[in-house]
Amino acid sequence: MDQRVKPEALCHSQSLFAVMDALGSSPSGFSGEQAERQRQQFGSNVLPMAPPPSWWQRLLSQFQNVLIYVLLVSAVISALMGHFVDAGVIIAVVLANAIVGLVQEGKAETALRAIMSMTRTHSMVIRDGRLVSMDSAELVPGDVVWLQAGDRVPADVRLYDVKDLQCDESALTGEAQPVSKFNGVLEPDTLLAERSNMAYMGTMVTFGVAHGVVVATGLHTEIGKISHMVGQVQLPETPLQKQLARFARQLTTAILLVCVFTIVLGMLLHDYSLKEMFQAAIGIAVSAIPEGLPAIVTIALAIGVQRMAARNALVRRLPAVEVLGSVDVICSDKTGTLTANAMTAREVFTDQKAYRVSGEGYCPKGEISLLDSTDSVTSGNDPVLSCASEIAFLCNDARTSQEEGNWLLVGDPTEGALLTMAKKAGIEEQATSKRWPRADELPFASERRYMATLHTSTQGARLMVKGAPERLLQFASAALSERGEVDVDHQRWQVEIERFAQQGMRVMALAYRDFSEKPLGLDYADAEQNLVLVALVGISDPPRPEAISSIQDCHAAGIRVKMITGDNPITAAAIGREMGLNTSKVMTGAELDELNPEELGEIAEQVDVFARTSPANKLQLVSAIQRWRHVVAMTGDGVNDAPALRKADIGVAMGEKGTDAAKEAADFVLTNDNFSTIASAVAEGRAVYDNIIKSIIFILPTSLAESLVIFSAIMMGLVMPVTPAQVLWINMITTVTLALVLGFEQPEADIMARPPRPYGQSMISKELVFRMVLVGGLGASVVFGLFDYYLDSGASLELARTVAVNTLVMIEVLYLFNCRFLHQGIFGRHFLKGIQPTLWALFAIVLIQGVFSYLPISQRLFGLASMQWIDWVIVLVCSSPILFLVELEKWIQRGLRPAKAALSPATQA
């Protein structure tokens, strides 16, 4: 078979004869035998899907963390030393952490692997000289297909015999308005969104009919190329994963150094044996390693997943929960993301008045008011608006209906916008249809650019016309005003047409012509003279109101929003201005293609609105912004957004109107298609990170206190106040239980008033180091002091150690209150906000610690003794200074830095 025309060839720039000749095809199509030969050469018309990872692959991925490796090594060492209980507990924690992550990710994955649903359709194909219906998967290059309104285009098709064909290509190109098609030949460098003689797989036919020859199938289609591009993009490591890995390396290094230092000094200063020092080093390691941290991180993320689900955000990958909290740039598609992806009449202009239309989409809820007034206007009290509404309603073939709360359109989106505008004006649909029944029509023709319908009444007949304003203005001999029919001020109407166009709106004109009697035969000549111009209607895909306020929230939170769309520059600039974006410069995809990587990086950093972009352009922009050390979120709903969604640090797809390709590539799916959900998710992501930091800032200082107690005893050649087994009890039971509570904390009041945390920051910061020294040093001193006091008072070693253990626990309990708020003090009304989990944890710890301290079997296993009530009073009084000293430290920190600075202990050192 001759392969002179390959799927990647520029078929739009070749004649239909050349395309068919190269494919060995003709208008009569293929025979079954010819089609089979083509299929053997080109394959089936399907997009291959990579199989989802198996459960065991997803389980193994949960262990790919340096801190997990450290814990596993600790477990092995503990087992080798004969501490099998310690080793078993650590292994149990690691497995619990992995199972939680596995289950959570499995739930999110089940509903989203459906990219093939876009392409598995049935098509009308000419085979063996007959028009037959067949599975689109059986199409081959050279097949001749028949397209009509309502069809999903089954492959990439070169069109011919086009009759007023229009296609909705928003999912592929981002073009908000249906694209009119024609038969001609285009220039080779014509942009994808402007190839009007082509129809592409996955797009929708909204109007008209056409024949076409299939020129590309499967992976060779434009959607197939995007699918391949998505597969080539590697999932980025999340900021939290990078920080935890760095934190684990730093912590591991520090612990190893301390252990080596302890062994060397112990042997040199006190002549301890290597075995004794090795056991002591294990005790220090056990006390210093935060065994419960991986589980705490996983559970904090899982809590974030549940909270985000309540806010209409479905999370596909568990680590992605926190990423939104670190995002400082959001790249957003326009159509269907920032806008409703539903054409809406937004302004109406008549000879004397200008009106504003509220509401969006095809829902008839909304009002029409004068531009300079907020008072609503209806067709009942405005005769010119009444006439315009009648034309918009009657010269119209679209229909809208409500299903499950959503308003759906059957027909052309522009006609749907006019129909909805008429309903908002209060038109009486049944009465109007009865008063003006349709008698004849002139269907829309692309070369004439208008549609006309003839309606009869008892007074005569009226021709109602809608179409391109420059055409109807040419045919108009009068304009309708409140005074009746007046002369047309062509210059004034032209100014309004240009004003609408500059705002990125599609302009439709409405006009009529009265006949005293019904014409014998309706002709286009009847509509091209003596028209009375009634109104201009500006139609566009409007910004979502909640998206505008959400962008303002993002700006206040230090997050920059960029719009990357396949729509035309004028529309993109107009929407960008309404959104509050910087539109001083708008770059197109063609201009981006001419830049070198350095220039692209500078433009990506400076410009906020990009138009006429291809999927490759979107991918390049996201990559360029990431190279400037930004954490990037990408939002979108179309196939053309999929590569960038996968490349971004966090991909956010629309769940209602989004394509399956976009959902497949994304980390988040917004079930309500609402951009404002992103701002809520950012706040939740920041809260998740805050809660993880709270857990770390709680665990490390208390772990340091435990380690210092053991280290100090070894260095001074004294009896250890606590044993390794007692330390492991505190770490695995008390510390983990209390730290888990911090994962439930609500977002702090200033969560969205802070700038995003710096790129690449470390979890171990100056503030954290100072807090570790303060709490660790003071805690160790208190424990050592009480231990020595009891021994000097003649108490048994068991009682002294019991007091030391419970002092460490009490310090943790009091210090937990400090850690509930990273920035605020605890003394205030906000202290009670969300305190219930903390109270339940304290109740559990008191109960568990009481059993631990007084149960005979635990006393024998852990070397404890019963305490009297006075001992508890001493423990409480000696532990309480921690609470007040940490609050003093937080007060000093607040005074040293601006109120809106990132006061988190995670701030980079």
**H-run or E-run covering 480:** strand 476-481
What residues form DSSP beta bridges with 409?
400
Burial class (CB in 10 A: 0-12, 13-18, 19+), 358: middle
Q: How far apart are CA 286 and CA 731, in angstroms?
A: 8
Q: How far apart are CA 641 and CA 624, in angstroms?
A: 16
Q: How far apart are CA 776 and CA 800, in angstroms?
A: 20
**H-run or E-run covering 32:** helix 32-42
Contact (Cβ atoms closer than 8 angstroms) between residue 279 and residue 287: no
Determine how many CB atoms are found less than 10 A away from the CB of residue 3.
Answer: 12
Helix, strand or coil, per DSSP, at residue 221:
coil
DSSP string, 501-541: HHTT-EEEEEEEEEESS--SS--HHHHSSSEEEEEEEEEE-
Which of 727, 696, 700 lies closest to 713 in space, CA to CA?
A: 727
Which of 238, 257, 221 lies closest to 139 in space, CA to CA?
A: 221
Q: How far apart are CA 426 and CA 368, in angstroms?
A: 10
SS3 string, 708-723, reads HHHHHHHHCCCCCCCC
CA dist list (Å): 158 to 28, 162, 215, 236: 15, 11, 7, 38
Give just the sign of the alpha carbon dihedral 370, 375, 379, 380.
Answer: negative
Burial class (CB in 10 A: 0-12, 13-18, 19+), 387: buried
Q: How far apart are CA 397 and CA 149, in angstroms?
A: 12
Q: How far apart are CA 403 and CA 249, in angstroms?
A: 55
Four-point Cα dihedral 614, 620, 623, 629, nearest 10: -110
Residue 72, amino acid: L
| Residue 3, token pair as written in the block | 């392969």
Q: How far apart are CA 208 and CA 451, in angstroms?
A: 13
End-to-end distance of the chain based on CA atoms, in angstroms? 66
Place of tokens 């082509």: 198
333 annotated active-site: yes
Place of tokens 């000879």: 351
Q: How far apart are CA 215 and CA 141, in angstroms?
A: 5
Of the residues 143, 151, 164, 333, only one is catalytic, namely 333
What residues form DSSP beta bridges with 211?
146, 160
Helix, strand or coil, per DSSP, at residue 156:
strand
The DSSP symbol for 234 reads P
Total residue count of the chain as it appears in this document: 909
Angle CA(127)–CA(119)–CA(191) in degrees, nearest 5?
A: 95
β pairing state of 506-515 and 460-467: antiparallel
Residue 837 sits at φ, ψ, to 5 deg, of -60, -35
Determine how many CB atoms are found less than 10 A away from the CB of residue 840.
Answer: 12
The DSSP symbol for 481 reads E
Angle CA(744)–CA(739)–CA(80) in degrees, nearest 5?
A: 140
Residue 624, amino acid: A
**Residues forming the active site:** 333
